[in-house]
A = this chain, B = another copy of it.
Amino acid sequence: MNSPTVLSIAELTEMTTQIFRNAGVSDAQATAVARTIVAGERDACKSHGVYRIEGCFRTLKAGKVMPQAVPELLDDGSGVIRVDAKGAFSPAAFELGAPVLAARAKELGVAALAINSCLHFSALWPEVEALTDQGCAVLAMCPSYSSVAPTGGTEALLGTNPVAFGWPRKDNTPYVFDFATSVAARGEIELHRRAGTPLPEGWAIDAEGRPTTDPAAALDGAMLPFGGHKGSAISTMVELLAGVMIGDLTSPEALEYLGSMSLLPHHGELVIAFCPKRFAAGRSDPFARAEVLFEAIAGQGARLPSQRRYAARIKSEAVGITLTAEEMALLEKLRTQGLDAV
């Protein structure tokens, strides 16, 4: 009963899709959401794996996501492609817009996809990789919930505002980074609280805006941006470009709209795609030259980002994904009880 279960990627995808279908989510949304969640499990990013289903279900149960909404593509032929997700989970909206974005980037050199009114629960790297697979370089970002104080400030305002970038590599996994602009994730602070260990300096402030290493005080206060005022500025840029500019909610507005961080944030996302061949314009081969840079980085012992994910992926593709007995029990409960499970 307590032994782990090994499922193929296809099996876990089918199981996850069915769980969402059972909960009243449309086929198109369910399959796209399942692909994203299983990508997290496949790459050993447990925090973006099946664990996320409960958050999706809580949001469904609260009526704060539209399970049958059909995202709409708005394309005027310009460099800005829009998808109105109409309150749906983001993956189906992204999958609708991504091929148009890649084609437009190849046509114009650079193009952007603005997704509006979506519920975004995943890491950005599955989206980034979908575009590097099409030969594009990609920069993606989205706001989240107010939980980070701007540097020099005293209270939560900015979100953890992830930024991700991808560069396609020939016959290799792409160069991809994807990180929160907070110095640490809220989950890491929670782990310190449970372990009773102090936080490193510079992670957080308390409710009075004073620096703290007490995890409980930090959870009542605010996290801090990575890299001091530079990270704070980048996080502000995310609010401006991927919130304000695309006509969607900023992190403080998303929190005000839902009143709770226990549900998925309702907001938008910005994805910028570049066609390196168009930019290089025959001056040199950008893909060959990028390899020289990657070799120089790895050659001095520095790691390229995402390598741990790619190693886990190879293993998952070869031998399947291992789920614990508890994880399997959770999936079974979600499958049979639907929204009553949360």
Contacts and interface: CB of A to CB of B under 8 A. Distances in A.
A301 interface: yes
Nearest to A296: B157
Interface stretch (A22-30, A38-46, A54-62, A278-286): A278-286
A140 B247 CA distance: 23
Contacts of A111: 79, 110
Given A165-B237, A226-B227, A150 B297 contact: yes
Copies in the complex: 2
A79 B226 contact: no
Contacts of A290: 240, 244
Contacts of A289: 244, 250
Given A240-B293, A272-B272, A232 B137 contact: no
B78 A296 contact: no
A167 B301 contact: no
26 contacts: A78-B278, A80-B108, A80-B281, A108-B108, A109-B112, A149-B302, A150-B297, A153-B297, A153-B300, A154-B300, A157-B296, A157-B300, A175-B236, A177-B233, A177-B236, A227-B227, A227-B228, A227-B230, A229-B303, A233-B305, A240-B290, A240-B293, A247-B280, A247-B282, A247-B286, A250-B289
